[in-house]
Chain A
Amino acid sequence: MGLRWGTFQENYAQDMAIFHSTRQWGIVVAFLILLFACPLFCSDRILTIMTMIGISVISVLGLNILTGSCGQISIGHAGFMAVGGYTSAILCAKLGFPFWAALPCAALAAGIAGLIFGLPSLKIKGFYLIMATIAAQFIIIWTIIQLRSITGGPDGLGVPKPAIGSIVLSSKASYFYLVMVFTSLATLLAKNIVRTRAGRAFIAIRDNDLAAEVMGVSLWSYKLQAFFIGCVYAGVAGALLVHYFSFASTDQFPFMDSVWYLGMLIVGGMGSVTGAIFGAVALKLLDELVTMAGPILAAAVAPQAAASLALISHGLIIIIFLIFEPRGLHHRWEIIKAYFRLWPFSHEVSE
């Protein structure tokens, strides 16, 4: 009944493969088919939730490359999403770009913003870098509000419905397909980045930056690369978010979102692509649960209970995970898989 009984890699290529067996391929393909069949039997509400989860997954995957793989903690991810979202919105609404052309520009703009605010990371780390990225979040949002003539300032900016060729993505189902395609591609790319030269350099920097530099890994180049890639992900996620609502506003990119993205990474398990997806799905589902429980609580306890429940539950979840499961859901998932793989001889649960 196990997933696979044993893995007998005979060379490096096999060891580094993303999918080790045909059975794994089968599971992934089946999952993708199921995912893309969702619009056939899911209501619009569920599709909306899944679209939002997909966008969060893209963003968290970017943060995972930056924070999980390269160890550069960023609490400004929503700010970089805002750069991508607004770039795409301005190009589409003011300059009449088609959606498919605006999206790469948005990704690039967010990446460049990431490079600029990643510059302090060359001199500082830990808490100082966190402060610099928090500052980035506030400075980006402030700048967007200041550039009222281009961005609409606090009033926001209306964006036409995205269209690819002559197909207008106006229904929930069509947008769901778009987001899921990007989420799948982003996941595949993230899985692969860790296997490249750059990915190995990121991990070396995370584990010990001094040793990495001694080994000849250029901190200057790879830290900035990590910022660039992480923020490109954020830019794509931001653009998808803005186009989903057909409206860009600074309220879509609040500071707390930046915190939740990091929270998702912690809940899921830092440094693992699967973990990033688990975390994003788990916290977004918790969000939905809170939204559903909110009105009940508001009626039963006090009108403000709904708002406070969201804050308290998220905060407590992160604290509980940090104390009791610091390696996140991904680690638990590995243990469960190993249990079934090794059953009935489960005395040695491998990593």
Chain B
Amino acid sequence: MTFFLQLVVTGFAQGMVYALIAIGFVIILKCSEAFNIAQGHFVLIGGYLGYTFLVPFGLPVWAALVMAIVTATIMGLAIERLALRPLLGQPVLAIIMVTIALATVLGGLATLLWGAEYKAYHGLLPTITLKIGSISIPSESLIGLIVSIICVAILMFLFRYTKIGLAMRATAEDLQVVQSVGIRATTVYAVSWVIACVVGVIGGILLGGVSGANMDLANVGLKAFAVVLLGGVNSVGGAIVAGIILGMLENVAAGYLDPLLPGGGLAQVFPFIVMIIVLIFRPYGLFGLSRIERI
């Protein structure tokens, strides 16, 4: 029982980070109907940025976070302006392919700048140790949990109470109406890419703080897709719930089934199995809007 609860708790904290990354994906999708395959590579860049600002630059944690967010903002603006804007109104495949190509370019940049090496910065992020009964909550997961909750709260506030948040929600609802009342859709797109970059980079720093930064961080993006599909592609709340569910399921399944399988590594393929099952039985996810269109 303790083993089970331990897995669930670890999975919960991990799932919160997945949810954070998935939210970036959902925001872009809702605002500009672009499926951003490169979300995982924002996480990768984030992990390495965290390393760069904390270790070689030796900045304090808050300054490193601010610097990373500034870099992410610039990255988001550049990506939206240079790669996505020229493709407005193109078919889905073109936009997906451009984000895939973007993912490779970002992966190439990470290889060029950081040498695709394993960079660890354990213990540089603040830690909180907590122990409930015999279950110890891993300190780094806890900080991840707290930061994720703060980020989600800020995003919720942004969407509900600010003008740009309102514009973003309106764009998600109906592009033509938004344009007819004089809201610049391109600004909304740019902001949504910036948010996705910032959220991905923060997720990257959190994950990098736990397991170190290396090229595998990009694969978290693939887990975020499973989260997004499970939660429903156009639901922020769904992403959070699905992130937590998937984080827990993955940990529990890996904990119990990995010893039974010769090759192990179920955690890597688990999100894809979930993905296929969701796609076959409930393509619009748990909380997504079911499309009326029938094919």
Chain A interface residues toward B at CB < 8 A: 73, 75, 119-120, 122-128, 130-132, 134-136, 138-139, 142, 145-146, 148, 153-154, 209-210, 219, 256, 259, 262-263, 266, 302-305, 307-312, 314-316, 318-319, 322-323, 326
Contact = CB atoms under 8 A, between A and B. Distances in A.
A318 B97 contact: yes
6 contacts: A73-B93, A123-B283, A130-B35, A135-B279, A259-B100, A259-B104
Contacts of A209: 295
Nearest to B273: A139
B178 interface: no
Contacts of B103: 315
Nearest to A73: B93
Contact of A310 (B108, B262, B269): B108
B269 A142 contact: yes
B115 interface: yes
B283 A128 contact: yes
Contacts of A73: 93, 96
B59 interface: no
Nearest first, the 3 A-B pairs at minimum CB distance are: A311-B108, A312-B108, A315-B105
B80 to A, nearest CB: 13
A127 B102 CA distance: 16
B295 A127 contact: no
A135 B83 contact: no
A319 B83 contact: yes
B87 A308 contact: no
Contacts of B58: none
B176 interface: no
B124 interface: no
B112 interface: yes
Interface in B221-251: 222, 225, 229, 233
A138 B111 contact: no
B292 to A, nearest CB: 12
Contact of B105 (A127, A134, A316): A316
Given A132-B276, A138-B269, A318 B101 contact: yes
Interface of B: 35, 83, 86-87, 90, 92-94, 96-98, 100-105, 107-109, 111-112, 115-116, 222, 225, 229, 233, 261-263, 265, 268-269, 272-273, 275-276, 279-280, 283, 293, 295
Contact of B263 (A146, A262, A316): A146
Contacts of A136: 276
Contacts of B86: 323
Contact of A138 (B272, B279, B293): B272
A135 B101 contact: no
Contacts of B272: 134-135, 138-139
A304 B111 contact: yes
B104 A131 contact: no
Contacts of A318: 97-98, 100-101, 104
A164 to B, nearest CB: 35
Given A145-B265, A304-B112, A318-B98, 18 more contacts: A124-B283, A126-B92, A127-B35, A128-B283, A135-B276, A138-B268, A138-B269, A139-B269, A139-B273, A145-B263, A146-B262, A153-B263, A256-B104, A259-B104, A307-B111, A309-B108, A316-B105, A319-B105
Given A130-B96, A323-B86, A315 B101 contact: yes
A123 B279 contact: yes
A308 B280 contact: no
A326 to B, nearest CB: 6
Nearest to A142: B269
A199 to B, nearest CB: 20
A315 B102 contact: yes
B156 to A, nearest CB: 25
Contact of A125 (B83, B111, B295): B295
**Among B98, B104, B105: residue with most chain A CB under 10 A:** B104
Contact of B98 (A125, A256, A319): A319
B35 A312 contact: no
A256 B107 CA distance: 12
A263 B108 contact: no
A295 to B, nearest CB: 16
Contacts of A308: 108-109, 111-112
Contacts of B261: 146
**Among B35, B94, B105: residue with most chain A CB under 10 A:** B105
A345 B250 CA distance: 66
A314 B106 CA distance: 12
Nearest to A258: B100
B229 A131 contact: yes
B276 to A, nearest CB: 5
A134 B276 CA distance: 10
**Among A120, A131, A323: residue with most chain B CB under 10 A:** A131
Contacts of B265: 142, 145
A123 B283 CA distance: 8
A77 B96 CA distance: 16
B136 to A, nearest CB: 31
A265 to B, nearest CB: 9
Given A146-B261, A256-B104, A305 B112 contact: yes
A142 B261 CA distance: 12
Nearest to B90: A326
